Chains A and B, each alone.
Chain A
């Protein structure tokens, strides 16, 4: 899932301080699961903002809501009849949700309340790690189920490099070397012979190198 973290309060204040009526809108999807932008975080942030602006002597109207998903128009449309009552929306959805919300309500300033960080997993509550960079052409079949694009700092297709030291990456001694992980996994699978077959250069056009990506599924369209 998409992982995000809440922006520092000062940054949020800086974005919304000029608006008297603000709607804080959470998303019940990924950002709820990673505890960055669900209804609870909406309430916490809204309360903090109210407290701050009240203390500043300029109380504002700050309302709370959370949508099922901000990456679907039908849910965004649920704001239609109330959005005019606000001067700005602070969205706690991921970058997709913030933009889609802005797309729909073109004249309404929409601000991001979280920093969208990566596609990752929950190691344990409060610890998330990156697993996928959405490169568009999955090569996990060749690498024992460990992605070198997401988990090697250099995105090397044939590693490890000389910076791998005792299983850790030279970029950060806390960070596991992705290629070490691939090696161990292939070893456990009895597939170390894969190292004899170098991975051929990757077609990066399916990644960001081909520009903004789009999927059109003719089979699904209504």
Chain B
């Protein structure tokens, strides 16, 4: 790497530092950074690569919603890039750490980009002119990029970078040995941004805590010779397949195989490549089953023909929320699932691939596929291991960060938190949850230093333009040559001058450059402009920038309109220059027409009540309450039962052997002792009104059932779940038939009784994965393994048999599954069609099941039959209707977004955690509770909130009280009021516009998108 100069210190001062460093800017790091920055802390976001986004940016779609990965990620990246209190340090690495919690000094090495970020306008000319092609890592080397490049089109920061390892400039001339050849990029860059003299910088950053989110790398299957990966071109990894499917990928989303660009008719996925394999990684990578199903489903959608997709697996681990439904749907859509682990791939004819496998009917098969996808697992990259060493952190035996199940985001070093894949293989929502949890952990440590390091922006008093006639200023951008090389910008400028209400027009070389912004500010004032139209690129990336300049000059930001004459014109009509110029004129005319009708909108500030309400006093609720209280917020904890503790009161040990009851006692004591927490037990919620920041809840508090009114700013729902009471397998009819919670009690209270058992059966999936409750209950497989190991410990001679459908011991739980096998626990698989039968004869309990190896029925007496009863939702119907929060058909609460808002409700200010969301382990509930507390705390951190100007407004005169708005609003905001007309609370309205478009009386308008403003645009076109 390049030499280092320019030492600088950022931050400084004494005491607790109100800044946090987040290392790694994948989805976890980005989420943690946003949460912290919104909570009043300054964030340094350190990323090794030239752009943030991580692996999620490389994915095509995401399970189980099939949302486009980039589409949902990109807004977060943009927010991160623009955040006043997040400083991105890209191409940077942590080198040293000194100090301790509250006051760390971290040395960060920032490598040169060779492109001045201030000057680069991302026009792409440097890449176009660069003569050096290299493998594009972002596309998994399936195609080429240039030595000057952006990581991907939506990259943040959207700034080019010169790849020193491949750039010709840096290659010494063979004869003279000197560097400095080529320089094509420098010559062609219209902004003068290329700077080969750039050197690295060393930053010494002072922060109060650190969050590590460096992510993972995929297992390299060339380590296993039998897959012939890299030798057979049509054997690809799952991440390569994501890029193949992606519309922005190497094949523009056309499903072809890399070897010969032929459309595959048959594709096989091989699961557990590098995972659940003691040669490489014994743990389960947790996500591969779901992504393989998703890839198969999406591939079938892409193919305009009947594509045959087969997934070869050992256990299908679709254990997450609604994952089993996704698996079932894939089967309906014709994805084949073959229970067989493939050990090798052979080359067939014409690049095809030959798989030999034994299926469950013990038949040996040979099948040819056009393409094979290796479902590679996750592992810890080498540089993350060395960073952990630098920071002095302990790693677990699999090289992931060592964490304690009861403090799942804390590392071995106080003040350093971990989230995402570094803390174990996990999917996106769990990474996001952990990120918010880590942010909450940091936030509670540093709460006294909140708002001490943050920046704020001063804006002048807004100018009242209501009495003025529209005076439109039009700014037409060349975008270097991006627009000007196709569109005749001077012609568009002259044309714009002729449009009604236009008082000023100018051509900008780069509208977005800092000096142009300053110049535009002057122009606004000089010409008394009160409407601004910028004809340039896309509002997606640039609207906020121009609006900020408007605010700086005292203009309301809603008096702004953009015409996208680049992405929607010059880029797509490069060959038709004249027509493109005409189109630019059309787009400008439309924008001006709308601009003249735009109204200034007020963003009303509302105070935020600083109190939190937590519903549910189980592990999740108590952890959420404790963290909120530690963050400095008064918290009211409401529990319906007499005692705190929830379902965990009935769990004695975790699979790691931790004493849950001791933990609970300690937790309850801490909650009770906390000066910021007030506990209401035997309390029943009877009314819930208001909106984010200002809720009013009424509870009846026992035993006297007196009424208590609570005003609060946020609500955390942690109302838990319960164990299914089986009606099958003689449960309740024979004392030897137990649920897992029952067994836990027996082993705790009378271990001698359990120790005397000779044979015990576990029956999995009781009440789960069936027609009534299609989802997997997630925790029962590990529960059975945990109890089986405990029984073996009590009596090693005991015969313990687990009858299962798929063993779903995801992540490091796989270690315990292996251990159970080693201890002699027997595992026998059954099909739901041939479910085991529990019977009673004179001797006692008898269990009959079909042995899947012998293919014969087996009948054996048993001392106990343990049913892995489902975790089912609590009875929350009334609560859900009072709070207007949605539930799944199984009764679990539905989060705002399955991937990226896993602890938020779509109604803002309400958060969700614990098994009320879906079944989960104690450690997972704690993570989620911290995450909910973190998100809630980030919202409470500001004492006021601004309500967007863009909301729906009802004109009551025409309202027919037809209820349509009430019915269609996804956020349940409109209500028919006392005057018998619809009323929409601005503080709650999200401005989505559904009510306005559906209102049959046309009496609802969305401000800024009013009918006349939009029709004016259309009328201007024709």
A contacts, CB < 8 Å to B: 28-29, 32-33, 35, 38-41, 43, 66, 122, 124-125
Q: Is the CB of A38 within 8 A of B967?
A: no
Shortest beta-carbon contacts, A-B, top 4: A38-B1000, A33-B962, A39-B1002, A32-B960
8 Å CB contact of B958 from A28, A41, A122, A125: A28
A208 and B154 CA atoms in complex are apart in Å by 69
- When C-beta atoms are compared, the residue in chain A nearest to B967 turns out to be A125
Instruction: Show 19 residue pairs from A and B whose CB-CB distance is below 8 angstroms, ordered by the A residue.
Output: A28-B958, A28-B1001, A32-B960, A32-B962, A35-B962, A35-B1000, A38-B1000, A39-B958, A39-B1001, A39-B1002, A40-B998, A40-B1000, A40-B1001, A40-B1002, A41-B1000, A43-B1002, A66-B958, A122-B963, A125-B967
A33 and B968 CA atoms in complex are apart in Å by 14
8 Å CB contact of B968 from A29, A38, A122, A125: A125
Interface assignment of B662: CB less than 8 Å from any CB of chain A: no
Considering only residues 997-1022 of chain B, those with a C-beta below 8 Å from chain A are 998-1003
8 Å CB contact of A32 from B967, B968, B998, B1001: B1001
Interface assignment of B964: CB less than 8 Å from any CB of chain A: yes
- When C-beta atoms are compared, the residue in chain B nearest to A43 turns out to be B1002
A36 and B782 CA atoms in complex are apart in Å by 57
A interface footprint on B165-186 (CB within 8 Å = 1, 0 otherwise): 0000000000000000000000
Q: Is the CB of B964 within 8 A of A35?
A: yes
Contacts of A40 in B (CB 8 A): 998-1002
Contacts of B1001 in A (CB 8 A): 28, 32, 38-40, 66
- How distant is B140 from chain A, measured CB to nearest CB, in Å? 47
A66 and B1003 CA atoms in complex are apart in Å by 12
Contacts of B967 in A (CB 8 A): 124-125
Q: Is the CB of B964 within 8 A of A125?
A: yes
Classify the interface of chain A: helix, strand, loop or mixed: mixed
- How distant is B483 from chain A, measured CB to nearest CB, in Å? 34
Number of A-B residue pairs having CB atoms within 8 Å of each other in the complex: 37
Contacts of A38 in B (CB 8 A): 960, 1000-1002
- When C-beta atoms are compared, the residue in chain A nearest to B961 turns out to be A33
- When C-beta atoms are compared, the residue in chain A nearest to B997 turns out to be A40
Q: Is the CB of B1000 within 8 A of A33?
A: yes
Given A125-B967, A125-B968, decide whether A29 and B960 contact each other with a Cβ distance below 8 A.
yes
Contacts of A35 in B (CB 8 A): 962, 964, 1000
- Identify the interface centre among B968, B998, B1002, B1003: most chain A CB within 10 Å of its CB: B1002
Q: How many residues of B contact A (CB 8 A)?
A: 13
A35 and B999 CA atoms in complex are apart in Å by 9
Contacts of B1003 in A (CB 8 A): 39
A interface footprint on B936-976 (CB within 8 Å = 1, 0 otherwise): 00000000000000000000001010111001100000000
- How distant is A65 from chain B, measured CB to nearest CB, in Å? 11
- When C-beta atoms are compared, the residue in chain B nearest to A41 turns out to be B1000
- How distant is B364 from chain A, measured CB to nearest CB, in Å? 51
Contacts of B999 in A (CB 8 A): 40
B contacts, CB < 8 Å to A: 958, 960, 962-964, 967-968, 998-1003
- When C-beta atoms are compared, the residue in chain A nearest to B962 turns out to be A33
Contacts of A29 in B (CB 8 A): 960
- How distant is A110 from chain B, measured CB to nearest CB, in Å? 22
Contacts of A41 in B (CB 8 A): 1000
- How distant is A48 from chain B, measured CB to nearest CB, in Å? 15
- How distant is A40 from chain B, measured CB to nearest CB, in Å? 5
A43 and B958 CA atoms in complex are apart in Å by 15
A35 and B1003 CA atoms in complex are apart in Å by 13
Contacts of B1002 in A (CB 8 A): 38-40, 43
- When C-beta atoms are compared, the residue in chain B nearest to A68 turns out to be B958
Contacts of B1000 in A (CB 8 A): 32-33, 35, 38-41
Having A32-B960, A32-B962, one finds 6 other A-B pairs with CB under 8 Å, namely A35-B962, A35-B964, A38-B960, A39-B958, A122-B963, A125-B967
- How distant is B755 from chain A, measured CB to nearest CB, in Å? 56
Contacts of B958 in A (CB 8 A): 28, 39, 66
Contacts of A33 in B (CB 8 A): 960, 962, 1000
A24 and B693 CA atoms in complex are apart in Å by 46
- How distant is B1013 from chain A, measured CB to nearest CB, in Å? 16
Contacts of A32 in B (CB 8 A): 960, 962, 1000-1001
A66 and B998 CA atoms in complex are apart in Å by 16
- How distant is A219 from chain B, measured CB to nearest CB, in Å? 26
Contacts of A125 in B (CB 8 A): 964, 967-968
A33 and B960 CA atoms in complex are apart in Å by 7
A35 and B968 CA atoms in complex are apart in Å by 13
- When C-beta atoms are compared, the residue in chain A nearest to B960 turns out to be A32
- When C-beta atoms are compared, the residue in chain B nearest to A125 turns out to be B967
- When C-beta atoms are compared, the residue in chain A nearest to B968 turns out to be A125
- When C-beta atoms are compared, the residue in chain B nearest to A39 turns out to be B1002
A108 and B103 CA atoms in complex are apart in Å by 85
- How distant is B767 from chain A, measured CB to nearest CB, in Å? 31
A15 and B1003 CA atoms in complex are apart in Å by 29
- How distant is A89 from chain B, measured CB to nearest CB, in Å? 19
- How distant is B39 from chain A, measured CB to nearest CB, in Å? 40
A28 and B962 CA atoms in complex are apart in Å by 10
- How distant is B717 from chain A, measured CB to nearest CB, in Å? 27
- How distant is A80 from chain B, measured CB to nearest CB, in Å? 21
- How distant is B335 from chain A, measured CB to nearest CB, in Å? 34
- When C-beta atoms are compared, the residue in chain B nearest to A42 turns out to be B1002
- How distant is B1018 from chain A, measured CB to nearest CB, in Å? 11
A153 and B148 CA atoms in complex are apart in Å by 77
- How distant is A128 from chain B, measured CB to nearest CB, in Å? 12
Contacts of B962 in A (CB 8 A): 32-33, 35
Q: Is the CB of A28 within 8 A of B964?
A: no
A147 and B758 CA atoms in complex are apart in Å by 67
- When C-beta atoms are compared, the residue in chain B nearest to A35 turns out to be B1000
A66 and B959 CA atoms in complex are apart in Å by 12
A29 and B962 CA atoms in complex are apart in Å by 9
- How distant is B994 from chain A, measured CB to nearest CB, in Å? 12
A122 and B961 CA atoms in complex are apart in Å by 13
- When C-beta atoms are compared, the residue in chain A nearest to B964 turns out to be A125
A43 and B963 CA atoms in complex are apart in Å by 20
- How distant is A93 from chain B, measured CB to nearest CB, in Å? 13
- When C-beta atoms are compared, the residue in chain A nearest to B959 turns out to be A28
- When C-beta atoms are compared, the residue in chain A nearest to B1002 turns out to be A39
- When C-beta atoms are compared, the residue in chain B nearest to A38 turns out to be B1000
Given A39-B1001, A40-B1001, A66-B1001, decide whether A28 and B968 contact each other with a Cβ distance below 8 A.
no
- How distant is B273 from chain A, measured CB to nearest CB, in Å? 48
- How distant is A160 from chain B, measured CB to nearest CB, in Å? 33
- How distant is A61 from chain B, measured CB to nearest CB, in Å? 16
Contacts of A39 in B (CB 8 A): 958, 1000-1003
- How distant is A154 from chain B, measured CB to nearest CB, in Å? 33
Contacts of A122 in B (CB 8 A): 963
- Identify the interface centre among B960, B963, B967, B1003: most chain A CB within 10 Å of its CB: B960
A28 and B999 CA atoms in complex are apart in Å by 12
Contacts of B998 in A (CB 8 A): 40
Contacts of A28 in B (CB 8 A): 958, 960, 1001
Contacts of A124 in B (CB 8 A): 967
- How distant is A144 from chain B, measured CB to nearest CB, in Å? 27
- Identify the interface centre among B958, B962, B967, B999: most chain A CB within 10 Å of its CB: B962
A124 and B964 CA atoms in complex are apart in Å by 10
- How distant is B1005 from chain A, measured CB to nearest CB, in Å? 12
Contacts of B960 in A (CB 8 A): 28-29, 32-33, 38
Contacts of B963 in A (CB 8 A): 122
A66 and B1001 CA atoms in complex are apart in Å by 9
- How distant is B845 from chain A, measured CB to nearest CB, in Å? 42
- When C-beta atoms are compared, the residue in chain A nearest to B1000 turns out to be A38
A153 and B651 CA atoms in complex are apart in Å by 60
A91 and B963 CA atoms in complex are apart in Å by 24
- How distant is A129 from chain B, measured CB to nearest CB, in Å? 16
A66 and B1000 CA atoms in complex are apart in Å by 11
- How distant is A143 from chain B, measured CB to nearest CB, in Å? 28
- How distant is B865 from chain A, measured CB to nearest CB, in Å? 40
Contacts of A43 in B (CB 8 A): 1002
- When C-beta atoms are compared, the residue in chain A nearest to B966 turns out to be A125
